[in-house]
Amino acid sequence: MLTRHAVGEKRFQDAKRYGYAGLMVGGMIPSAVLLLFAAAPEQFISLFINPDTVGDDRIIERAKLFLFISTLGLIPDAIRNIFSGTLRGYNDTAFASLSALFSVIGEGMLTSVSLGFGSSLDALGVLLGRTVAFTVGPV
């Protein structure tokens, strides 16, 4: 938000500083969550399901994998949001919107459907497709 306003007001040095700060925070928070998750995955899983009442350990292992992959997708998504905000500051909402439409909806949906329904990955493929879209989208 600060980056967008600074760009719109033609304060490019401030915009650059805010952008770097946003990228740092956007990378640090998901990285911290990844570290916490790696250290204590059972505590994170217990926020969503009760591991003691689940009869199949494969469900717990699948949940750990899903949360890990979801968290990985947060880092590139944060980067995409910083760049989209900068473009909006230039009053270029068309490119930011088309970029989001292409990467998240277009590419994400195609990849998710292909991996989720066109392979044996099932729900994991849908999640991987979303993560791929968030990763490739900022590029």
Sign of torsion, CA 63 139 87 79?
positive
pLDDT confidence tier of residue 139, bands split at 50, 70 and 90: low
Q: Looking at residues 22-34, what average pLDDT do you find? A: 86
The alpha-carbon radius of gyration of the chain (Å, integer) is 18
Question: What residues does each domain of the chain span?
Answer: 2-136
pLDDT tens, 80-127? 777 777 777 777 778 778 877 887 778 888 889 999 999 898 899 999
Q: What is the pTM (predicted TM-score) of this model?
A: 0.73
Q: Looking at residues 53-79, what average pLDDT do you find? A: 85
